[in-house]
Structure 1
Amino acid sequence: MTKCCGCISCSKETRDTFAEMMNFSLLKDVIFVIFAVSNFCTSIGFNMPYLYVVSQAETLDISKKDASYLIASIGVANTVGRIILGYIADKPWVNRLLIYNVCLTVCGVATAMVPLCQDYNALLAYCSVFGFTIGAYVGLTSVILVDLLGLEKLTNAFGLLLLFQGIASFIGPPIGGWMYDITESYSPAFLMAGIMIAISGLVMFAIPPLQRYQEHKAKQKFNSEQLALS
């Protein structure tokens, strides 16, 4: 047995895994930083619909019984979304990053449009879209990490991502509640959540050109080294 964090007894394997998860050297990787910022933004808005969509429905004079079905519809759509998106993303000819980016962007735009939903059917349609598209965030994050950084960095990268997600999930809902206290409306909370989720999808579109730029720089460096040796 050894000490983890200097005080907790644990096995050497556990200590090594924890140390790898909390290795902050990945923050020097621009691609990882973009992905971490994207996850942070997504997590700020992720819980808003679960917490406030029923209350939003009640402000439209929708019964509590009908409003409760909205949460159920998110769960059903989310289950279907994870299965379908996971199946599609598993195909070798599919651009998984593109699916991830588009889903988050659509999810964010739909969430920002909740204030325009004035009846039960509109909210039900939104909940279905949100549940389906947010399934990409839950189901494809680890896969995208492997695609971007490699399998050997998955433990470290996922550990740091969970740190970003935890902080964002902690501050997101209170911000939404604070907005309601000021405006006495849930619309600003949904608007903020939608903008953050949409931003999380849009910033990820910067990764492919950045990868191409890094590959070009690496190729130039290799060519210059070969010329120097010749």
Structure 2
Amino acid sequence: MEQQHQCVCCPEAVLRVLTTMLHFQMLKSPAFMLLLVSGYLSLMGILIVFTYAAQFAMRKGLDPNSAKLVLSIIGISNTLGRAACGAISCLPQLDMNIVSWVTILLSGVSLIVAAFAYSKMLYVIACALFGFNLASFTVLRALVFVELFGLENLTNCFGLNMLFQSLSAFSSTPLANVILLYTGGFQAVFLFTGSALLLSGALLIPLKPVLKWERRNMNVTFS
């Protein structure tokens, strides 16, 4: 009788799920890589801002209790932004990718404004706009995946997207700490984060032309 060799540490069911979610053939797609790198940078912005927004607020002159409220304001504005994204996603005439890169660019601009804010109120408003605009990153990402790569590839897209986001979560705060260590100020951290979000949004602008070129000239399969 033939013996079946199975991995004790990783059962077959788990391997099957990982194989389905991590379809590495998709990494050959330049358009998909643009989406992954954009997602990496966007999540970096979210994590760094939530880590340092309150401390930067105190540097701007807010008392500790008011500085903590900045995080609540970002969260509330993000909730409102998600509701707005959910509403506009029901409009078929809108291109979700365009909505995504416009709002991500605006979130990057908001952080740069926050970095140079000359008043406490302007800083709070800029942080609120950041939270509102970056809501599209979480709400519309699945719609962009389906629109560009098809519903049948949504699981694969999400699996690789989560992999890149885990790398972002692992590296974002240490990178911000290095910037803070060498500059001694939160302004440089916010400028770096705002620039990362501007790059994230810019990467999505040529997404559809790149995908069209890719389908004409490259043999990339997604299934």
TM-score normalized by structure 2?
Answer: 0.89
Other-structure match for 1:29: 29
Name the SS for the 1:90 alignment partner.
coil
2:147 is the counterpart of 1:147: yes
What's the counterpart of residue 51 of structure 1?
A: 51
* Contact 1:3–1:9, Cα closer than 8 Å, also in 2: no
Q: Which residue of 2 aligns with 1:168?
A: 168
Q: Distance in 1 between matches of 2:25 and 2:208?
A: 22
- Give, in whole Å, the separation in 2 of the partners of 1:7 and 1:156: 25
Other structure's SS at 2:36 match: helix
Distance 1:199 1:62 in 2: 30
Q: 1:3 to 1:76 in 2, by over 3 A?
A: farther
Deviates most, 107-116 or 31-40: 107-116
CA distance in 1, matches of 2:88, 2:37: 25
Question: Residue 42 of structure 2 contacts residue 200 of structure 2 at CA under 8 Å; is this kept in 1?
Answer: yes
Distance 1:112 1:84 in 2: 23
Q: Contact 2:82–2:132 at 8 Å: present in 1 too?
A: yes
Does structure 2 conserve the Cα–Cα contact (< 8 Å) formed by 1:104 and 1:198?
Answer: yes
Cα separation, partners in 2 of 1:26 and 1:211, compared to 1, 3 Å: closer
Does the CA contact (< 8 Å) of 2:61 and 2:120 recur in 1? no
1:33: how far off?
0.9
The C-alpha deviation readout for 1:143-198, integer Å capped at 9, x for no partner, is: 11111111111111111111111111211111111211222100111111111111
Aligned length: 214
Q: Within 5 Å, which residues of 2 pair with 1:64-213?
A: 64-213=64-213
- 1:7 and 2:41 are equivalent in the alignment: no
Structure 1: unaligned runs, 5 residues or longer: 219-230
Name the amino acid aligned to 2:189.
A
Mapped contact 1:70–1:123 kept (Cα < 8 A): no
Q: Which amino acid in structure 2 is aligned with residue 199 of structure 1?
A: L
Q: TM-score, normalised on structure 1?
A: 0.86
SS of equivalent to 1:105 = helix
Deviates further, 37-46 or 186-195: 37-46
Higher relative contact order (CA 8 A, sep 6+): 2
Q: 1:139 to 1:3 in 2, by over 3 A?
A: farther
RMSD: 1.9
Rounded to whole Å, the distance in 2 between the matches of 1:144 and 1:72 is 28
Work out whether residues 46 and 197 of structure 1, in 8 Å CA contact, stay in contact via their aligned partners in 2: no
| Equivalent-residue separation in structure 1 for 2:187 and 2:166 (angstroms) | 24
1:100-152 CA deviation, whole Å, 9 max, x = no partner? 01000111121122221132211110121011111000111111111111111
Structure 1: which amino acid aligns with 2:90? D
1:10 Cα deviation after fit: 4.3
- What's the counterpart of residue 226 of structure 1? none
CA contact 1:142–1:154 (8 Å) conserved in 2? yes
Supply the distance in 1 between the matched residues of 2:170 and 2:10 (Cα, whole angstroms). 28
Q: Write the letter of the residue equivalent to 2:38.
A: S
**Residue 221 of structure 2 aligns with which residue?**
none
Report how far residue 214 of structure 1 moved.
Answer: 4.7
The residue type equivalent to 2:113 in the other structure is: M
- How high is the sequence identity, in percent, across the aligned residues? 24
Paired amino acid for 2:32: F
Larger radius of gyration: 1
